Amino acid sequence: MPKVFGQNMRIMLKNHLKIALRFFLRNKLFTGINVLGLSIGITAFILLISYIGFEKSYDSFIPNVDNLYRVTLTTNLGGNGFATSATNHPMAGPAMLSDFPEVESYTRIADKPMAFSGTMNISYTNTLGDEIKSDAIDDYIYFADNAIIDMFDIQFIQGDAATALDEPITVILTEKIAHRFFGNEDPINKMIEINDNFKLKVTGVFKDRPENTHLPMGMIVSYNIFGQDGDHANSWVWPEFYNYVKLKPGTDPKVVEAKFPAFVKKYLGNIMNEHGFEAKFALQPVKDIHLKSHLLKEISPNNSEGTLYFLLIVAGFIIAIAMINFINLSTAKSMERAKEVGLKKVVGAPRSVLIHQFLFESLIINFFAVIISFVLINLLIPSFNSLVGIDVLNFGMWGKWQVWLAMLGIFLIGGILAGLYPAFVLSSFVPIEVLRGKFHKTTKGNILQKTLVVAQFVISIALIAGTYIVYNQFSYMQNQDLGFNAEQNLVFSAPTYADSTTQQKIESFKRELIQNPKINNVALSDEIPGKPIIQGNTIRQVHERRELGVNANFVIIDQDFIKTYGIKRLAGRDFVKEDASSLYTREGAVPSGHRVVINRSAAKNLGFSDPEAAIDQKMIFKFGPIDRTAQIIGVVEDHHQQSLQKGYDPIVFMHFESYGASFVTVNITGDNIRGTMGQIEAKFKEFFPNDLFNSFFIDDYFNRQYRAESKFGTICLVFSMLAIFIAALGLFGLGSHMAMQKTKEISIRKVMGATVAQALAIIPRKLLSLVLLSGAIALPIIYFVTKKWLEKYAFKIDLSVSMFLIPLLLVLVVAALSILSQSFKTAMVNPAESLRNE
Amino acid sequence: MIQIQNLKKSFRTEEVETLALNNVNMNIASGEFAAIMGPSGCGKSTLLNIIGMLDNPTEGSYQFAGHEVGGLKERQRTQLRKGNLGFVFQSFNLIDELTVYENVELPLIYLKMNKAERREKVKVVLERMKIAHREKHFPQQLSGGQQQRVAISRAVVTNPKLILADEPTGNLDSKNGIEVMNLLTELNQEGTTIVMVTHSDRDSHYAHRVINLFDGQIVTESQNRAMGAML
Ligand SMILES: Nc1ncnc2c1ncn2[C@@H]1O[C@H](COP(=O)(O)OP(=O)(O)OP(=O)(O)O)[C@@H](O)[C@H]1O
Ligand SMILES: [Mg+2]
């Protein structure tokens, strides 16, 4: 003990400690419930807060992130109102650098499909002749200008950061990927191949990127790879490129944004006039992307601030519930300690000493709780990381002073806050009243206790109802009929286009597969369900004016696709092989004899009254900048191309002669699926030995869209349950106290002739009114919050009365059980016994 | 009305077994007013509780109005108690959360009497006990004597055949004490059997008979006719 404490203080503390420990030992249930509740509460709080902190930290490791912006594009192309996309024209960045003095540098970033249609195989053959392949998706491959290195703080280990991506056709990669390709060889100047015909020279190796970035990078290929592909990638006609700019330090982004209207007019004016649309540019701070951006064509899935606020509220609730327990139980216990307090006062203890004593006890309990939660957090790190799906926590967290500060803060604030009220109540007892036995008549403590219990009920009901509704919506989305056959459809990447024989090879590959009695159908396509469709443009009936075109998505399929996916035909017919048209005639002219199948939404948007009406009608679609005409040969039912959060896409299915497939879908039947998969893979290897075979089932793929949702749902569920558990714990403790308080009343009633059940009935009646009051507060709030939340889903459940009544009943049952289990004991006791002690 | 033979009651706590009543034999006739006296801890309350069917004897027989009640289950005892027995305690044992009126009404509720009937009965009793003007008050707002009058009201509202009183004047001053004793005597004269535990010589003179208990056994019984006749 430090010197600053006087002799007196020391004796007093010793005395406090002695009384506290004896009191805890004598009241094991009380102490146990408090420590358990608080430690679970603190653990949950710290875990959630760390997760929230992690999500908030996205991209903040980049030194000049405050000056980094993404240039977004808002257009009303297609006449369906304005929509904003994360991508922009590839000339936006360069033009901004030359026109705006505030811009220091820019980089354009292109995703894989911009460079390679169809499949992209990356491989390296080492000195021993082994071929090492890579997965283009898992390796986060992008195409970008050299300035990306400086702007995003890519830290070079080898190579020249200033020029690495300026040389023609080069690539830089992370340490991890470099090691996989090259082992211990020196990566610099090694050649990596794409689809066996592009060669990339390795000019740099950089440190693995942190997890908390909206732009995870594995391999970056120089932007000049597009140079060989005409000038689309340096034009104002292909708005599919991410443009990032770095502004000079101290620049107000509003100054730059103010110049955009004139800038857009200068570069896009002609095209806007010609095609009758409007475009707007805006600057989006990079550090806001992960939590605030929900644009079209996001580079990676983002989280939402709303989710984090929700979790923050849950975290606050959990710790609040734990503290309410503590306050309630301590205040309740105070009745039993009145005698101790009264006597201490009689022998001359001043009130301040008594307050100190009770605060001290509160701090001790909180101290135990903090110690236990320290252990719990360490035990839970792996489970929590797998729950949220990112390595948010590691043991290194204890090296951060913020974490210790948080723990210390919880300990002190919790201990003092939760201890203060009981301390004042306890120390305010007037000795004479205590001796007269009138102290428990003060209604003040009772009202506070009731308010706190109601608060707990409100929180519990709100959490249960909220979780229940969220869960209902998620399970609704996952069990809805998707409009296509999601089962037993195996998908794998189509072979890359090697030469003119590829088309024939794939035809015979299909033919051989179909020989297999366990294979029903095989289809080729450039898109599959569960993936946002990349291609799209406006369509219209032939007699409509150009400005009245409506948006539609284009999916290129073969004659077996609609069969394979079991998409329902509404009118007309499916494709046959002969319907295939070519995109260009041999002379280079634009043919017009296309035939298309459209879905219900597209037919409706085109203005056809019913599907039949569309059959054999002509429509115009823009493919690239050019208008083409097509005949509608069939209309099919809408299917869910994306998660049920999104509405149905209007789709035009096209069937071309030239090979452009990205995916092969095989519909399998019967048992021994593994065996059939093996046969398919063997056949693929036989036909296309140079291609990677990576397959998945379409239902798994489709459900990947719900990952964020189900993750969020599980987190909510776990932590709501914890909150409810802590609340039940408190009710249990309070129940035992209430039962004790009611002992006399129950006994008297029994003497007056009440049965056990009748005597017990007094408790639920009081409880019922509290729960109903809480429901009246919680449910309207939850109704509005969930209604608002559901608005972002195109397909959603209807809120029903049962969704609100079930949580109410659940809380009632839990509360009644925790309290009745205690009172029952009292009611069973002989009344003579309990009245004897009066 | 009450016939007790060879009654024994022992309490077993963790370490010791206490024999609170040892071979008690007694009869109490209908209409009698009996007082039980004796030093503290001799078993008076225990005996009264058994008579009141709040507790079961360990051994022996207890017949109430001809029914053997010694071995009855809790539920059956409750059934038999209802309406037949009234209790008055030293510490009143009123329910603090209920008003005077509601406290008195309580036994009638458990008798499943309808509201109008209950109202009638409670009114009559409160008038008689001179506490009607306080019917909306809570027990804590009354003096000790008033509280005991409420407790007696509650005991008699069902018109019980037997009233059991455990030190009914123990917490009262002499003026209030005498008032309570007069009330009990009045009830007795109207035909209610009364068994009362007391420490007070003065109170014992109101009874027809005094039963002296010592160490769980009846040591003497004395008649008090003269005194009873005097009043
Ligand atoms: N529930 C019980 N558990 C254990 N012992 C008991 C119990 N009830 C009574 N006793 C014991 O039985 C004996 C008689 O108790 P009882 O309450 O009948 O005494 P009493 O004559 O009413 O005393 P007093 O005049 O002080 O009220 C005492 O020794 C007491 O300790
Ligand atoms: Mg006694």
**Alpha-carbon distance values, A540 to A78, A219, A435, A543 (Å):** 10, 41, 91, 8
pLDDT by residue (tens digit) across A341-354? 766 666 666 777 77
Identify the pLDDT of residue A79.
Answer: 52
Q: What is the mean pLDDT of residues A77-102?
A: 87
- B8 within 8 A of B59, measured Cβ to Cβ: yes
- With an 8 Å Cβ cutoff, are A748 and B95 in contact? yes
Pocket lining: B16 vs ligand 1, CB cutoff 6 Å: no
Q: Which helix (H) or strand (E) holds A209?
A: none
Task: Assess A829–B contact: CB distance below 8 Å, yes or no.
Answer: no
Task: Assess A749–B contact: CB distance below 8 Å, yes or no.
Answer: yes
Pocket lining: B13 vs ligand 1, CB cutoff 6 Å: yes
Check whether A231 has a pLDDT greater than 70: no
Q: What is the mean pLDDT of residues A569-587?
A: 84
- With an 8 Å Cβ cutoff, are A748 and B93 in contact? yes
Return the higher-pLDDT residue of A448 and A361: A361
Domain assignment of residue A59, yes or no: no
Q: Give strand pairing partners of A527.
A: none
Q: Which helix (H) or strand (E) holds A617?
A: none
Pocket lining: B11 vs ligand 1, CB cutoff 6 Å: yes
- The ranges of chain B with pLDDT < 50 are 226-231
Picking from A689, A718, A747, the residue at the C-terminal end of a domain is A689
Nearest to A830 among B54, B83, B93 (CB): B54
**3.40.190.10, 3.40.50.300, 3.10.450.40, 3.30.70.380: CATH of B31-48+73-230:** 3.40.50.300
pLDDT by residue (tens digit) across A236-278? 888 889 999 999 999 999 999 999 999 999 999 988 887 778 8
Return the higher-pLDDT residue of A825 and A260: A260
User: Which residue, A457, A211, A483, A199, is CA-closest to A324?
Assistant: A457
Domain assignment of residue A111, yes or no: yes
- With an 8 Å Cβ cutoff, are A830 and B82 in contact? no
pLDDT by residue (tens digit) across B38-73? 999 899 989 998 898 888 889 999 999 888 888 888
Check whether A600 has a pLDDT greater than 90: yes
Separation of alpha carbons A659 and A655, rounded Å:
10
- A702 within 8 A of A489, measured Cβ to Cβ: no
Separation of alpha carbons A662 and B108, rounded Å:
85
Pocket probe for ligand 1: among B16, B42, B167, B218, the residue whose CB has the most ligand atoms within 8 Å is B42
pLDDT by residue (tens digit) across A468-501? 898 888 888 888 889 998 888 999 988 887 777 8
Stated length of chain A: 838
Pocket lining: B90 vs ligand 1, CB cutoff 6 Å: no
- With an 8 Å Cβ cutoff, are B87 and A758 in contact? no
Nearest to B110 among A752, A831, A836 (CB): A752
**Alpha-carbon distance values, A63 to A59, A121, A151, A152 (Å):** 9, 34, 9, 8
Domain assignment of residue A647, yes or no: yes
Picking from A195, A226, A251, the residue at the C-terminal end of a domain is A251
pLDDT by residue (tens digit) across A352-396? 777 888 888 888 989 999 999 999 999 998 888 888 877 877 777
Expressed in angstroms and rounded, the spacing between residue A831 Cα and the centre of ligand 1 is 14
Domain assignment of residue A626, yes or no: yes
In this structure, the residue with its CA closest to atom 16 of ligand 1 is B43
pLDDT band for position A431 (cuts 50, 70, 90)? low
- With an 8 Å Cβ cutoff, are B78 and A441 in contact? no
Q: Name the CA radius of gyration of chain A, rounded.
A: 35
Q: Which domain holds residue A117?
A: 87-251
pLDDT by residue (tens digit) across A705-743? 887 777 778 888 888 888 888 888 887 777 777 777 777
With a pLDDT cut of 90, the percent of chain A lying above it is: 37
pLDDT by residue (tens digit) across A602-649? 999 999 999 999 999 999 987 766 788 899 999 999 999 988 888 899
pLDDT band for position A440 (cuts 50, 70, 90)? very low
Task: Assess A603–B contact: CB distance below 8 Å, yes or no.
Answer: no
Domain assignment of residue A477, yes or no: no
- With an 8 Å Cβ cutoff, are A749 and B93 in contact? no
Domain assignment of residue A603, yes or no: yes
Domain assignment of residue A31, yes or no: no
pLDDT band for position A130 (cuts 50, 70, 90)? confident
Check whether A158 has a pLDDT greater than 80: yes
Picking from A689, A710, A738, the residue at the C-terminal end of a domain is A689
Check whether A661 has a pLDDT greater than 90: no
Check whether A81 has a pLDDT greater than 80: no
Identify the pLDDT of residue A430.
Answer: 65
Task: Assess A805–B contact: CB distance below 8 Å, yes or no.
Answer: no
Domain assignment of residue A329, yes or no: no
Pocket lining: B169 vs ligand 1, CB cutoff 6 Å: no
Q: What is the DSSP string of B107-119?
A: HHHHTT--HHHHH
- B38 within 8 A of B46, measured Cβ to Cβ: no
Give chain A's mean pLDDT: 85
Nearest to A753 among B78, B94, B97 (CB): B78
Expressed in angstroms and rounded, the spacing between residue A836 Cα and the centre of ligand 1 is 9
- With an 8 Å Cβ cutoff, are A753 and B82 in contact? yes
Number of domains in chain A: 2
Question: ∠A571-A574-A577 over CA atoms, to 5°?
Answer: 155
List chain A residues with CB under 8 Å of B55.
830, 832
